[in-house]
Amino acid sequence: MLQWIFENGGNLIVLGVLLVVAAGALAVIRRDQKKGGCCGGCSGCAMEGACHRK
């Protein structure tokens, strides 16, 4: 098992970085959606009716 980790260490590091970046992006999107500012305002937004619940 330890040998496999050493052989694939670079791949595991890249995978970890990608997971952190994706989680951060999802957190920002979720935060903006809760604030109601997903597009900088709802007027003229394509997601105007579905962006946040009323």
pTM of the model: 0.60
Model pLDDT, residue 26: 95
Give me the sign of the Cα torsion angle 24, 28, 34, 38: negative
List pLDDT tens digits, range 3-41.
Answer: 999 999 999 999 999 999 999 999 998 887 777 655 556
Is the CB of residue 53 less than 8 Å from the CB of residue 34? no
